């Protein structure tokens, strides 16, 4: 089956790319432990990326897809440090964080990237997120992939989306 890549893929952070709440469970500074492929915060709390995140980001990047993040986190400095320490900043074009809707995050991201309102309907955009309430992004033409918070984004979820099995 032919795969249809989006123009833009937006990822939530908590329970989508890592299995924790950055704003309540992580205390900075965090340090990356390359031997064990995880972060350790200042209290010794250990967190890893979900297993398929890097593979998905690399596949998207190889297919020219713009990767963005959108999160309701109220501690963006923690999320930023985690992204940098995990070494995934190189995949992410822009991020919009703060206590508001994902619709607002995505609209602001598109505006900051220079897209006009007339261009947006022509873009294929997807949001990967573990919170069902964020399916409201469909009202602005964004596909929504609902994820199991226990697993985050998986290769199967991603492939199902690319193959048109999930919208």
Mean pLDDT by 10 residues, the chain (167 residues): 92 98 93 95 96 98 98 92 97 95 96 90 96 96 97 98 88
Domain count, the chain: 1
Strand order in the sheet with 31-33: 31-33, 38-40, 46-47
Secondary structure of residue 156 in the 3-state scheme: helix
- Containing domain of residue 136, as a range? 8-18+50-162
Residue 41 a catalytic site member: no
Residue 33 a catalytic site member: no
105, 106, 107, 112: CA torsion to nearest 10: 90
Options 7, 12, 129, 157, the catalytic residue: 12
CATH of the domain at 153: 3.40.50.1000
């Amino acid at each position: 089956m032919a795969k249809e890549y989006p123009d833009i893929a937006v990822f939530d952070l908590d329970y989508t790319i890592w299995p924790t709440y950055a704003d309540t469970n992580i205390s900075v500074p965090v340090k990356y432990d390359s031997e064990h492929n995880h972060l350790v915060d200042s209290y010794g709390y250990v967190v890893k990326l979900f297993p398929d995140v890097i593979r998905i980001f690399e596949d998207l990047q190889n297919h020219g897809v713009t990767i963005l993040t959108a999160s309701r986190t109220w501690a963006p400095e923690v999320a930023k440090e985690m992204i940098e320490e995990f070494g995934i900043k190189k995949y992410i074009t822009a991020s919009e964080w703060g206590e508001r809707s994902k619709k607002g995050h995505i609209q602001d991201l598109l505006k900051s990237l220079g897209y006009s309102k007339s261009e947006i309907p022509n873009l294929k955009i997807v949001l990967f997120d573990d919170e069902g309430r964020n399916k409201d992004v469909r009202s602005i033409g964004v596909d929504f992939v609902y994820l199991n918070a226990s697993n985050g984004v998986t290769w199967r979820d991603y492939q199902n989306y690319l193959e048109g099995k999930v919208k």
